[in-house]
């Protein structure tokens, strides 16, 4: 948005050069004299506001790169430059000790040192430049709240100012400059007309000329005042660095998107902001076609990352797709941006099907990031709400359960979005059949799932072919193979399946440290575990609670972890499958909020808002099936899984609630595993399922289940049965 307006401002600035002298009207008989130069000066000044703000961002970025590169050079002995092609002996003899000592030198200045000739000097400067380039390329541009650098505050303030100027000034500035150009053209026309009839001016003609001159003069005065006020506002605009740091911690995604939109591509790549595979590995012919797709995002109020912009273009270009981006990459904002594009083209009926737990989140996202109107079609008033949507348009949001009661009354949809689409992987389920019927009412469909493959390889195939049935026919021969080549399958799926991982595009994400905490059970805990019923869920719960609940071995370790993170002032999200475990966690910490399947979407959002607003250390206990989906917890920095889960996607989703776009601090994830229990067998199961996902879904590949029509991880399931002590 800012780039479009700035381009317009530049064209207007060029216009000044052509018409600046024409902004005077004179009559030979003492009639008209109007000088519009005063307005011209203010409009020229206003035209520099956004470019100057962008230049401040670039300068702050350059300072960060220079400071970081210089720090690395100061810490690197000059001897290391031999790996970059320098002859270091003469340099050491001349007194150079670190790479930084070469800073500011040229080939000519090095030749002044005894023992350094042309060849040595040229090799030294060449090695220094290569080292500096490498050092700059590895700088993390985004600030780390735990380790602030000298220029970080300057960059954040520059970004905050630019965002405010785009929001508060650019639209008014655009209007002022358009009116300036229009008034200038009217002035030229009036001057030409006056010259023709200078000697024939009647009283009525003089009055008409006076009226027109007065109107033009008033218009220039308005432009002058508006341009001066906006320029003065920009000059005086200031921010408190501490407050901006807080804004960055709360919503770093906005700062990242702004930075990407401003920096030259070379600097973005140099500063490790852009990932290596924004296109998700699509074949060049499809990727080029997608990138050539023009989208109209006037109704979007958010800033998109570059990979998100590509995702929007993909949805718009391909029309019926499975958006399989990893958790935390912003699938929701990409779908909303696609809706905004269609709305700008005159479409107005958009429909979202999502789990009940994220209805409120969808409503908030629509209000926060778009100019579209959300309508929750759910509950007792669902028929009235559906009728309102069909009459007025907007973004209708409903649940899988409610959809079955509505689908017969829906006539047409301009874009259908199905969130957590892996929920419709069973073709025999009623919810799946309702969604399939809805896909037949629209030209544009987006299935959204970061876990398109969870248990069986056929799940991804079913989702893809439901979105785009013709893919099934095209792939029939390929999928009959026992092990089709992943690259070949990926090419076949490219028109319908786009997936980017965090590693692909979020190279700015802080580190993730995952730790398996293998915990020996105390004798009493082990006895309680062995005496628990030979039932898988009972065994899992007993491995966590042991004989003493809050005093079990796992809870002892949890207590130790929480004490350490309390000292660091970090927020902790603790996940468990069991409500009883959540209750015990809350009791142990003296009371903490919980998120589980029994609370409403409204209550859940309130809990999340309070947790995010809390300063310093805090604990939130979440039931993993309810709290691991559709929520954002970038405010936390620690994830603790009280027990292993059945599916790797369940654990990945829980961690991705915290380590996702917008996270600015290092994330630690702990998985508590009770030694000698069913926990260890579950870990084996997870690893086997994870490998299936890596082979066939992580890189947009799918494989037919024929030839291996059994659940992934069957060997691990047998291990589970043995661990439990009974067939299950």
Token pair for 413:
């949809």
Does position 114 have pLDDT exceeding 50, yes or no?
yes
Torsion angle (degrees, nearest 10) of CA 393, 394, 399, 402: -20
Does position 82 have pLDDT exceeding 60, yes or no?
yes
Regarding predicted confidence, which is higher, 511 or 246? 246
Q: What mean pLDDT, rounded, does the chain reach?
A: 81
Beta-strand relationship, 24-26 and 33-35:
antiparallel
Q: In what order do the strands lie in the sheet with 394-399?
A: 374-376, 394-399, 349-354, 415-418, 445-448, 320-323, 497-498
Closest CA to 592 of 610, 577, 567: 610
**What average pLDDT score do residues 432-446 get?**
93
In CATH terms, 511-676 corresponds, of 3.40.50.2300, 3.20.20.100, 1.10.3720.10, 3.40.50.300, to 3.40.50.300
C-alpha separations of 48 from 457, 481, 649 in Å: 56, 62, 50
Buried/exposed 552-568: b ≥16 CB within 10 Å, e otherwise: bbbbebbeebbeebeee
pLDDT band, residue 455 (cuts 50/70/90): low
Spatial distance between the Cα atoms of 36 and 21, rounded to a whole number of angstroms? 10
**Mean pLDDT lowest among 81-90, 302-311, 662-671:** 662-671
Question: Could you write out the DSSP letters of every residue in 366-392?
Answer: HHHHBSS-EEE--STTHHHHHHHHHHH
pLDDT band, residue 392 (cuts 50/70/90): very high
Residue given tokens 């350059």 in the structure block: 62
Give the single-character DSSP code of 248. Answer: H
pLDDT of residue 480: 55
Closest CA to 201 of 31, 376, 428, 413: 31
pLDDT in tens, 363-372: 989 998 999 9
H helix runs in 48-99, sequence order: 49-74, 88-93
Spatial distance between the Cα atoms of 646 and 650, rounded to a whole number of angstroms? 8
pLDDT of residue 18: 37
Give the domain 274-504 fold.
Rossmann fold (3.40.50)
Token pair for 712:
């992934």
* % of the chain exceeding 90 in pLDDT: 33
* Beta strand spans in 495-637 (E): 497-498, 512-519, 571-576, 594-595, 618-623
Spatial distance between the Cα atoms of 347 and 366, rounded to a whole number of angstroms? 16
Spatial distance between the Cα atoms of 29 and 6, rounded to a whole number of angstroms? 43
Domains 274-504 and 511-676 agree in fold: yes
Spatial distance between the Cα atoms of 285 and 335, rounded to a whole number of angstroms? 23
Spatial distance between the Cα atoms of 587 and 610, rounded to a whole number of angstroms? 19
**Mean pLDDT lowest among 44-48, 139-143, 295-299:** 139-143
Regarding predicted confidence, which is higher, 200 or 94? 94
Does position 420 have pLDDT exceeding 90, yes or no?
no
pLDDT in tens, 155-180: 999 999 999 998 889 888 888 888 88
pLDDT band, residue 630 (cuts 50/70/90): low
Hey, where are the domains in the chain?
2-55+153-248, 65-145, 274-504, 511-676
Does position 648 have pLDDT exceeding 70, yes or no?
yes
pLDDT of residue 8: 45
> Cβ distance 363 to 370 under 8 Å?
no
Does position 359 have pLDDT exceeding 80, yes or no?
yes
pLDDT in tens, 196-235: 555 455 667 667 777 888 888 888 889 888 989 999 999 9
Does position 701 have pLDDT exceeding 60, yes or no?
no
**What average pLDDT score do residues 271-289 get?**
69
pLDDT of residue 507: 64
The model's pTM is: 0.62
Chain centroid to Cα 264, Å, comes to 19
């Amino acid at each position: 948005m800012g780039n479009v307006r700035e381009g317009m401002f530049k064209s207007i600035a060029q216009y000044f050069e052509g018409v600046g002298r024409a902004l005077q009207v004179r009559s030979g008989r003492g009639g008209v004299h109007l000088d519009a130069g005063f307005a011209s000066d203010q409009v020229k000044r206003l035209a520099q506001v956004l470019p100057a703000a962008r230049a401040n961002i670039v300068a702050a970025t350059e300072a960060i790169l220079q400071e970081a590169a210089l720090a690395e050079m100061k810490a690197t002995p000059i001897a290391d430059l031999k790996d970059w092609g320098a002859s270091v002996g003469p340099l050491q003899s001349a007194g150079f000790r670190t790479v930084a000592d070469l800073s500011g030198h040229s080939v000519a200045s090095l030749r002044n040192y005894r023992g350094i000739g042309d060849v040595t000097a040229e090799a030294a400067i060449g090695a220094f430049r290569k080292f500096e380039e490498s050092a700059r390329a590895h700088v993390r541009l985004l600030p780390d709240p735990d380790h602030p650098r000298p220029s970080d505050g300057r960059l954040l303030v520059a970004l905050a100012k630019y965002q405010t100027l785009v929001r508060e000034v650019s639209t008014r500035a655009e209007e002022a400059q358009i009116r300036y150009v229009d008034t200038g053209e009217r002035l030229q026309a009036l001057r030409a007309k006056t010259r023709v009839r200078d000697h024939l001016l009647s009283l009525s003609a003089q009055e008409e000329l006076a009226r027109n001159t007065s109107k033009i003069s008033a218009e220039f005065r308005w432009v002058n005042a508006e341009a001066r006020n906006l320029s003065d506002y920009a000059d005086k605009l200031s921010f408190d660095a501490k407050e901006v740091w807080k804004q960055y911690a709360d919503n770093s995604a906005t700062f990242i998107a702004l930075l990407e939109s401003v920096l030259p591509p070379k600097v973005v790549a140099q500063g490790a902001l852009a990932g290596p595979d924004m296109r998700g590995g699509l074949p060049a012919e499809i990727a080029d076609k997608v990138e050539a797709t023009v989208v109209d995002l006037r109704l979007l109020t958010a800033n998109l990352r570059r990979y998100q912009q590509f995702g929007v273009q993909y949805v718009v270009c391909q029309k019926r797709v499975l958006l399989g981006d990893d958790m935390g990459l912003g699938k929701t904002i990409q779908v909303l941006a696609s809706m905004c594009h269609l709305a700008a083209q005159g479409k107005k009926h958009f429909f979202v099907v999502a789990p009940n737990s994220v209805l409120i989140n969808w409503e908030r996202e629509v209000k926060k990031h778009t100019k579209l109107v959300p309508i929750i079609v759910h509950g007792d008033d669902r028929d009235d709400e559906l009728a309102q949507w069909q009459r007025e348009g907007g973004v209708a949001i409903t649940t899988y359960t409610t959809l079955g009661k509505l689908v017969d009354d829906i006539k047409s949809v301009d874009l259908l979005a199905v969130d957590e689409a892996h929920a419709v992987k069973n073709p025999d389920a009623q919810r799946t059949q309702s969604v399939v019927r809805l896909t037949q009412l629209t030209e544009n469909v987006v299935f959204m799932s970061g876990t398109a493959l969870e248990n069986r390889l056929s799940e991804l195939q079913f989702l893809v072919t439901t979105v785009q049935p013709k893919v099934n026919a095209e792939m029939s021969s390929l999928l009959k193979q026992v092990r089709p080549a992943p690259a070949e399958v990926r090419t076949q799926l490219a028109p319908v399946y786009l997936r980017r991982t965090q590693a692909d595009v979020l190279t700015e994400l802080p580190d993730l440290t995952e730790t398996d905490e293998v915990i020996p059970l105390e004798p009493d805990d082990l006895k309680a575990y062995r005496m628990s019923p030979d039932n898988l869920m009972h065994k899992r719960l007993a491995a966590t609670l042991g004989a003493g609940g809050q005093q079990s071995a796992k809870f002892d370790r949890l207590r130790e972890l929480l004490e350490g993170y309390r000292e660091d002032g970090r927020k902790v999200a603790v996940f468990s499958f069991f409500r009883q475990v959540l209750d015990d966690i809350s009791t142990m910490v003296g009371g903490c909020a919980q998120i589980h399947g029994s609370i409403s979407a409204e209550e859940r959002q309130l809990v999340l808002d309070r947790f995010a607003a809390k300063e310093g250390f805090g604990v939130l206990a979440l039931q993993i099936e309810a709290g691991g989906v559709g929520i954002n917890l970038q405010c936390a920095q620690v994830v603790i899984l009280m027990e292993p889960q059945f599916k790797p996607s369940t654990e990945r989703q829980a961690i991705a609630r915290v380590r996702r776009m917008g996270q600015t601090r290092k994330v630690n994830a702990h998985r508590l595993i009770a030694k000698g229990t069913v926990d260890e067998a579950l870990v084996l199961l997870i690893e086997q399922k994870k490998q299936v996902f890596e082979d066939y879904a992580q890189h947009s590949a799918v494989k037919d289940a024929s030839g291996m029509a059994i659940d992934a991880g069957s060997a691990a399931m047998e291990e589970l049965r043995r661990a439990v002590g009974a067939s299950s």
